[in-house]
Amino acid sequence: MAKRHCFILEFVAESVIVIDPQNPTQSADYLIKGGTLVTMDAKRRVIENGAIAIRGAEIVSIGPAVQIAEHIQARQTIDASGCLVIPGLINVHSHLAMTIFRGLVDDQPLEAWLGRIWPLEAAFANVSNVRAGTQLALVEMIRGGVTCAHDMYWQLWDNTRTAVNAGFRLVNGPAFTEIVGPDGVMPENHIPRAQSYIEEFRTNPLVTCCVQVHSTYTTSRQMLENARQISEDYQLLFVTHASESRVEVETIQQRFGKTPIEYLHEVGLLGPRTLLAHCVHLRDDEIQLLKDTSTSVAHCPESNLKLSNGVARLPDLLRAGVNVAIGTDGAATNNDLDMLGEMFTAAMVHKGVWGDPTCPKAEHVFEMATVKAARAIGMQDRLGSLETGKLADIAILDLDAPHLTPLYNVYSHLIYAANKSDVRSVFIHGKPVMLNRELLTLDEEEIKSAVRRVAMRINSGSQG
C-alpha cells in the first residue's frame, strides 16, 4: 500500500489526477480522449494524446490518455484524436444583439457611427429583435470556439435568460446611462434595477454579474459614482469604454481637465475589478496607472481599425505588465464575433505598426483570450485553463485541414492559421453545446430566419 501511495503522489504532481487508492475507478459524465491538450496551466503544458474527464460542471482529471483511461469510467467518450483541445475562448467585450445591425453602417468614424446607430436602436432594439440578435451572436460564437462573452446592451434580463437557456456563459449587468433607451429604463431607476438584477442572477452558475456605464462622455459624474457604489457593495466587475477615440479624450479633457483614464481614477473606478474597453489613446503615465491599479483592458483591434480610432499601444501595455484581454466589440463595428480572427489581428497589426515582430508572440496572444481574459472578468480561479477543479469550458478544433498541416507549434496554429470553421465541438459548464459541428441548444436556421425578418423591417424603415 505504501508503494502505491508513492506512485499516487508522483502521479498527482505530473498529471494532476487525484486517485483514491480504495476506489481507483472514478465516474465521469464525459471523457474527451485523444488529441493535443493546450492546457494554459501555470506550466503551459501541452499534452499529446491527452484526456479530460468531466463530472458535472468541472474537469475532474486531465493528463495523458493512457493514464486517465485507466481510472475513469465515463458515461460518454468524445474522440478528439487529430484535434486540438483548448480552453474555451473568452470574448471580454461585446454588444451581442448588434448582430441585427451587422453591415448596416460601415466606413464611418465613431461619432458618425453612433449618430446612425442610436436612432436605429431606439426604433428596433425591442425584446424580440434583441433576443434574435443575441441568439445569432451565441450561434456565431459557439461555432467559433467561444464559451464565455461579455455583453453590454438593452433588454438586459432577456439577453441574460437567452444566454442561460442556450447553456452559454455570460458576463452581463446593468449599464447606467443618462438617456432613456429602448427598454424604457428611467435614469432614477438604475440603482434599484441593478440591485434587482444582481440579486436574481448572481447565484446563476452561467452568469458573471457586472456593473457598467457606456462611457464617461455619455454619463454624469453622479451616475459613475452610483455605478461604483453598486460595484463596491456587491464586489462586482465594473465595465466601461475608455479612451477609444481622440474626440472622446478631447471631450473629457475639455469638460473635466482630465483624460478619461484620469477621470475614472478620480471617481475611484480604476482597480482590479475594472475592465476598460479599447484604451487606444494612452500616455505613458496612464499605462503605468492601469498597471498600478491592476485595471484590465479589453483590446478590440478590429473595431479600432474599422472606425479609424487607431491602434492601441499593446506592446507597451504588455511590457508594463497591464492585464490585457481580447474582445470583438459588437458585430456592427467588426463585423463578426470571431475570436480566432480577432487574435490573428491582434498578433499581426502591432508587428506592422510598431515594427517589432517579436511582440506580441502567438502564445501571449492566446493568453489574452484565455487566462488573462479569465482574470479580466474576475474568474481566474474557475476559467481560462484546462485544469482539475476548473469549470469544463472547452473547445475542440479539428487539425485535419490543409491550412493546419503540418503541426510544429500549437500556439502558431491557433493564432496564425486556424479559423472558426476548424471548431468541431464545444463544452460549456461541463455540457456539450456543439458536437461534431451540430449545435445542441440553439436552432440556427430558425434564428437566422428571425434575424433576416428583423433586417427586412429595418430596411423598410418600419418601426419595431
Residues that bind Zn ion (CB under 5 A): 329
Shortest Cβ 210–Zn ion spacing (Å): 14
Nearer to Zn ion, 329 or 367 (CB): 329
- How many CB atoms lie under 10 A from the CB of residue 303? 26
Torsional class of 158: left (φ above 0), alpha (ψ -120 to 50), beta (otherwise): alpha
CB of residue 428 to Zn ion, shortest distance in Å = 23
52 phi and psi, to 5 degrees? -130, 125
Pick between residue 29 and residue 329 the one whose CB is nearest to Zn ion: 329
Minimum distance of Zn ion from residue 372's CB (angstroms): 19
CB 163 within 8 A of CB 438: no
Min dist CB 406 to Zn ion, Å, is 38
Minimum Å gap between C-beta 415 and Zn ion is 23
Edge-to-edge order in the sheet of strand 72-79: 58-64, 50-55, 26-33, 72-79
Closer residue to Zn ion, CB minimum distance, 302 or 398: 302
Residue nearer to Zn ion on the CB measure, 248 or 329: 329
Shortest spacing between CB 329 and Zn ion, in angstroms: 5
Dihedrals phi, psi of 391, to nearest 5 degrees:
-65, 140
Exposed/middle/buried for residue 4 (C-beta within 10 Å: 0-12, 13-18, 19+): exposed
Residue type at position 397? L
Cis peptide leading into 165, omega within 30 of 0?
Answer: no
Shortest approach of Zn ion to residue 214 CB, angstroms? 8
Name the closest residue to Zn ion (Cβ).
329
Please provide residue 316's backbone torsions phi and psi, each rounded to the nearest 5 degrees: -70, -40
Cell of 281: 489613446
> Of 33 and 93, which CB lies nearer to Zn ion in the complex structure?
93
- Smallest separation (angstroms) from Zn ion to the CB of 356: 28
| Residue among 152 and 340 whose Cβ is closer to Zn ion | 152
The residue (of 246 and 361) whose beta carbon lies closer to Zn ion is 246
Judged by beta carbon, residue 18 or residue 104, the one nearer Zn ion is 104
State how far Cα 376 lies from the chain centre.
9
CA 129, CA 127: separation in Å to the nearest integer? 6
CA atoms of 408 and 396, how far apart (whole Å)? 18
CB of 195 to Zn ion, least distance (A): 24
Give me the DSSP letters along 166-235: TT-EEEE--EE-SS--TT---GGGHHHHHHHHHHHHTT-TTEEEEEEES-GGGS-HHHHHHHHHHHHHHT
Q: How far is the CB of 231 from Zn ion (least distance, A)?
A: 18
CB nearer to Zn ion: give 12 or 305.
Answer: 305
Which of residues 329 and 422 has its CB atom nearest to Zn ion in the complex?
A: 329
| Strand-pair partners of 53 | 31, 61
* Residues sharing a CB contact under 8 Å with residue 99, sequence separation 6 or more, in sequence order: 133, 134, 136, 137, 140, 330, 331, 337, 451
Residue 56 C-beta: closest distance to Zn ion, Å: 34
- What is the C-alpha to C-alpha distance for residues 449 and 43, in angstroms, rounded to an integer? 46
- Select 244 or 422, whichever has its Cβ closest to Zn ion: 244
Contacts 24+ apart (CB under 8 A), 7-13: 11/67
The whole-angstrom separation of Cα 195 and Cα 209 is 11
Q: For the chain, how many residues are written? A: 464
- Which set of grid coordinates corresponds to residue 361? 508572440
